[in-house]
Structure 1
Amino acid sequence: MRIARSMIYTQSLNGSNSAMSDILRLNEQAGSQKKINRPSDDPSGAAMVLSLQSHINSLAQYDENINSAKGWLDTANEQLGTISKTITKIQELANQGSTGTVTDKQRALIATELRELQVQLIGLTNGDYAGNSLFAGASIDKPAYKVGLGATVKNAEQSLIHSINGDAKKSIAVKFDTLTATQTVGAAAIPLKYSEDGGNTWKDATIPAGAGPEISVQLGGAEVNFTVGKDINQDTSTVIRPAAVYTGSIDGEAKARYYGANTGLNPVPVGVFTSPVAVRIEQDVSIAGTTPAPTPPTPAIGNVEFSYSLDNGETWIRGDASSDAFLNIPGGQLNLGGTGTLRAGEQFLVNPIDSAIRVEISKGTKVQVNSIGANFFGGIYRDKVTGATGPVDGVPAEKNIFEVVGNLIASLEMDDQEGVKKCLGDIKKANEHITTETGVLGGRQNRLKFASEAHSNSKMSTTTRISTIQDVDVTALSTQSERAQYIYKTVLATSAKVMNMSLLDYMK
């Protein structure tokens, strides 16, 4: 085979370039300390590094969520610690007021101090984190509680008192001892007596006859609304006393949305809903509207033909013909909230409110960061449709700290030693209940701690794996660099000798 001189030149040049390329590649690795500086260096290794780095990035986002959740829960835990100290002080005052050696004036002074502590307690339950309410459920943009008035009813239904507005510097006692027979609110005028000074003096008032859900009576600075249809007898009594009104969201509440042309409708769900309910109007109908009620009202002008769905509209169930103001659906009713015309095919959607705010702390795992104050501290709740107030559901009366404190204040202001003793026992139960609920927060904090530790371990092992794939071995790189430089020098020396050779050199 004839070796042309051009072939020698080309081969020498290629060898020189190849050796130089190795030197440049090794120098680049030495400078970056990485074996993979571009995907072409190791396509499969580069793909694996990108996948592992994506995992680390996702862990970083989870860590941010954990830090945010930790801020929520740590703040709530600190707040609960201060609340516990306040309740301990309330318990001490209750213990003082329950002794027989304390005079009525001293009990009144204790009650005054307790009123301040109750306001302080409400302020603590309105604590926030980064401007978000800690104990208002999903209603994080507003305080969980506000100062209000409540009622303790004896020998009658608690719902006798529909709601109370206004203010009262001292508890107001109400009695009906002049009655000779049971009377029904609204059927006829009902006389009563009330006292604003602990029962020392009494004033006369009357619940007038009338219709409607409730009838208002002004008792001092308080407007007391009595529920029409409720019975009162000679032994019935009530005390209007301080209370905490829960204004946050609670489990089971729902919101409704109307999909139709009648702009005058403002639908409101009434009841407890655990899943979405879709409602479809089946025929054109004119609605007149009635006063909201907690139970199905008597059909008014006409009946609404409708169907409802519990599976996002896949199947529909024919609903019972309802009054033109309320549609009976699973979980309660839908108050149409207006008048006008409904057209066939128009729909409503009732969606339960999820009071829990959750953040994702790992793939598929979330933790709740907020709390529903009503479950911790109780209080009273005003129905968003009827306006009726009553103790929150789900917390027994003896564990409802705000109601217990309200009754304690009333008992002290009425110089009721036995009532104070009962409240003293209830305070202990309520405090134990709050401690139990606080333990739930502690469990969430532990979950955050374990998740954070798991992330740290995962990041460490993933980083080690990336380093194994991507980082250079400095000792091996140094050896390879020396070898590459030696090869390059050898190629240059050999090429120089070959380039100088020619046929004339041979002929000499």
Structure 2
Amino acid sequence: MRFSTNLMFSQRVSDMNNATARWMEAGSKLASGKRVSKPSDDPQASAQAVRVTQSENRNQQYSSTRGFAKTGMTLQMSILTQMNSVSTQMDTTIIQASNQGSLSDNDRASLAEQLQGLKDQLVSLGNTTDGNGRYIFGGYESDTPPFEVDATTGDVLYKGGDKSITQNVGSDREMTSYFAGSEVFATTTNAKGEKVADMFTAINKGLEALKIPQQNATQADLDRAKAGMDEANRGVKAGMEKISNIEARQGLQLQEIDSLDFLSQTRKIQNEGRLSDLLHTDWTSTVSDYQKEMALFQASQDIFKDLNSMSLFGR
């Protein structure tokens, strides 16, 4: 009889401990708002939650990359817009300078000075740096200025990289954040094997033509000056078109990034909702479970007290 009573007592202690554990677990879920706190709570939901979390981590990584890419694109587009403005002034100056019959040599010298100043501005814009001191038109060789003026010839040499900087802004989308200067300004190789920016070469032709005196000039000199201005005119117009095309491409990319950001935000909301469905509590059922487990715990406690008070267990 004593053995049976001890066994019954041990069983009631175990029942009360189990009831206590279930009640505390229900309370923990109610307090945390999570239905699944560890994989064993729901292995299938936990596995799905891992996949959703990994998907959202990739989503956030691409979002961060787009942020960096957008900063670069916006900066370069701003500089391209300024380049277009300078190029337009160049075009106007060259057209004005092409009117040989109505300009004195002093007028031509003044226009040459204006053209030289615009050329210097364009070189300076080409050597723009970002907030980290990187040259935005240098491609992957962005530690040093990409454009260098030959002090002897006036040629503008391109010293940057030929490959534009690209970034993965989505699972299957790559964009150019910084176009290399060789793509913005088409380049050719001179006799020394150096890369020379074509647009600047054309500008130099115009500067050389403006230095040819028109007063008492021979027909050959007049023809040479006209040919130089015509070449400058064609080269600057071609350069303007190239700059405008790159600017337009950056603009389209920025629009696409805005669309990708919108899709990313939508995906984030969907992932958060999916995780909530998988892991978070259903308040109605959780409160009900908590109340049920509390009632069972209290009942178990009452039974234990009753057994403990029986004379059979008296000391």
By the TM > 0.5 criterion, same fold? yes
8 A contact 2:97–2:111 mirrored in 1: yes
Counterpart for residue 232 of structure 2: 423
Counterpart for residue 143 of structure 1: 145
Counterpart for residue 226 of structure 1: none
Q: Deviations over 1:131-185 (max 9, x none)?
A: 222222332222221112xxxxxxxxxxxxxxxxx53xxxxxxxxxxxxxxxxxx
Structure 2 residue identity aligned to 1:114: L
Structure 1 residue identity aligned to 2:305: A
Structure 1 residue identity aligned to 2:119: Q
* Aligned Cα root-mean-square deviation (Å): 2.7
Q: Deviations over 1:273-296 (max 9, x none)?
A: xxxxxxxxxxxxxxxxxxxxxxxx
Give how far 1:382 is off. Answer: 5.2
CA distance in 2, matches of 1:440, 1:382: 29
Counterpart for residue 28 of structure 1: 28
Structure 1 residue identity aligned to 2:134: N
CA distance in 1, matches of 2:249, 2:285: 55
Structure 2 residue identity aligned to 1:31: A
Q: Deviations over 1:368-426 (max 9, x none)?
A: 3232312322355457xxx335756xxxxxxx422222122222222535643553354
Q: Deviations over 1:167-217 (max 9, x none)?
A: 3xxxxxxxxxxxxxxxxxxxxxxxxxxxxxxxxxxxxxxxxxxxxxxxxxx
Structure with larger RCO (C-alpha < 8 A, sep 6+): 2
Counterpart for residue 178 of structure 1: none
Counterpart for residue 362 of structure 1: 170
The structure with the largest strand share of the pair is 1
Distance change >3 Å, CA 382–CA 457, structure 1 → 2: farther
CA distance in 1, matches of 2:147, 2:156: 6
- What TM-score comes out, normalization by structure 1 length? 0.54
CA distance in 1, matches of 2:312, 2:113: 122
Structure 2 residue identity aligned to 1:378: A
Give how far 1:432 is off. Answer: 1.8
The structure with the largest helix share of the pair is 2
Counterpart for residue 243 of structure 1: 155
Distance change >3 Å, CA 361–CA 28, structure 1 → 2: same
1:111 is aligned to 2:112: yes
CA distance in 2, matches of 1:249, 1:493: 82
Give how far 1:86 is off. Answer: 0.8
Counterpart for residue 84 of structure 1: 84
2:257 to 424, 427, 448: 448
Give how far 1:12 is off. Answer: 2.0
Distance change >3 Å, CA 481–CA 76, structure 1 → 2: same
CA distance in 1, matches of 2:119, 2:282: 68
CA distance in 2, matches of 1:390, 1:67: 33
Counterpart for residue 464 of structure 1: 273
Counterpart for residue 40 of structure 2: 40
CA distance in 2, matches of 1:137, 1:490: 75
8 A contact 1:244–1:380 mirrored in 2: no
Counterpart for residue 217 of structure 2: none
Where does the alignment leave 5 or more consecutive residues of structure 1 unmatched? Answer: 149-165, 168-240, 251-354, 393-399
8 A contact 1:380–1:403 mirrored in 2: no
**SS of structure 2 residue aligned to 1:360:** strand
CA distance in 2, matches of 1:370, 1:447: 16
Counterpart for residue 276 of structure 1: none
CA distance in 2, matches of 1:391, 1:490: 91
- What TM-score comes out, normalization by structure 2 length? 0.84
CA distance in 2, matches of 1:427, 1:61: 41
